[in-house]
Amino acid sequence: MRLVVAIFFLIAATSARAAEPLVSLDYSNALRIPNRHIQISIGSDGALAVATTSRGKKKVSRQIQIPPVALQELKKELEGVDWEKVSSDKVKGQDGTSVHLSYGKVFASLWSPDYDSEERGLSHIQKIIESIFDLSGLDRTGMPIVPTQNKARLDESSMEATTLWDLLIRPTIGLHFPRFAIFILIALPIEIFCNRRSRRFAPSFSTICLQVLIGVSATAGSYFLYTTDFPPGERLHPASWFYPAAVSALLFAVVTFSVGIWTELRRCQRLTSALRAVTFSLTVFFAITALMTPSEINRALDKMETEKQN
């Protein structure tokens, strides 16, 4: 019985130790209104959890995944800290910030490490605190990012946020919006010509509906990408209904077009059939690239963050 109890406690202790975060940062500033209390924990697998508490508001929590390269860089910086020297700092004040930073079994509790950092020998650990805030999607003081800071953040360091519009306008990344707009300007007159000549609206209906769906979603998505910055580690996650709805619409368009174009071929409308087939094929191509855009953007973000770290 004692052996069973001992094994049970051993397993419980091992599980508790495994659940402990690799890095933990507890940051408080009573004089702040937003983000007066910040709790950040980073697991050994790079999972980062950040919880912020503002005056008069509920706690806000979110999780992101840190790229492996960024995690290794952070661990390297933390291992270079002289924890005994940092812990010996006894400077205290009435205002300012209270910081508790731990890495594995070592930790340090400090008052306003950004105050006289060089004189107190805290420059290194202050840079680490700023890096952890940066990885968490906050500014270097732990405050929320405001829209006017977005562009400045893009030009600062190698681990800053990436504006997804810069990815969207690249011809190699997913749906190339300018190219699709040019295609629409050419395709619509062709569809009007074919419809007037053959008087069969079914093929044009499927093509135009698919083009409208792509255009509306691309316009809304472009606005979102243009106004959104993704902190390092965050990725684009489409809604659960996005892929089923998009694939259903694409299949419906293909079936409708096939029925209409078969009727035209039986009536020997070869010219209009060929023009409509080319237009519809290109429309389907743009629809498929639009479906692939979220995953393509996420892969591009992974590649860009890896390149910046190297």
Tell me if residue 157 falls in helix, strand or coil: coil
Residues 223, 294, single domain; the answer is yes
**Domain-ending residue, one of 129, 144, 159:** 144
Domain assignment present for 47: yes
Residues 213, 86, single domain; the answer is no
Residues 182, 295, single domain; the answer is yes
**Domain-ending residue, one of 111, 144, 177:** 144
- Rounded CA Rg of the chain: 28
Residues 20, 123, single domain; the answer is yes
- Alpha helical stretches, state H, the chain: 2-19, 68-79, 83-87, 117-120, 123-135, 150-154, 164-168, 177-198, 201-227, 242-266, 270-309
Residues 137, 23, single domain; the answer is yes
Domain assignment present for 83: yes
Q: What is the DSSP letter of 36?
A: S
Please tell me the pTM assigned to this model.
0.45
Distance CA 99, CA 46 (A): 22
Residues 176, 77, single domain; the answer is no
Domain assignment present for 9: no
Domain assignment present for 153: no
**Domain-ending residue, one of 76, 111, 144:** 144
Distance CA 75, CA 103 (A): 9
Residues 136, 172, single domain; the answer is no
User: The CATH number of the domain where 125 resides is what?
Assistant: 3.30.1560
Residues 57, 179, single domain; the answer is no
- Which domain range does residue 203 map to? 167-309
Tell me if residue 222 falls in helix, strand or coil: helix
pLDDT at residue 128, rounded to an integer: 92
Domain assignment present for 157: no
pLDDT at residue 156, rounded to an integer: 41
Which tokens sit at 13?
A: 């202790």
Distance CA 136, CA 75 (A): 16
Domain assignment present for 99: yes
Residues 93, 171, single domain; the answer is no
Q: How many domains, the chain? A: 2
Domain assignment present for 150: no
Q: Collect all residues with Cβ–Cβ distance below 8 Å to 216 and sequence separation of at least 6.
A: none
Residues 302, 187, single domain; the answer is yes
Domain assignment present for 149: no
Residues 67, 186, single domain; the answer is no
Residues 133, 174, single domain; the answer is no
pLDDT at residue 40, rounded to an integer: 92
pLDDT at residue 119, rounded to an integer: 87
Over the chain (310 residues), what is each successive 10-residue block's mean pLDDT?
A: 48 49 86 78 89 79 86 90 87 82 90 86 90 84 58 41 46 57 80 75 75 76 64 71 86 85 78 84 83 77 69
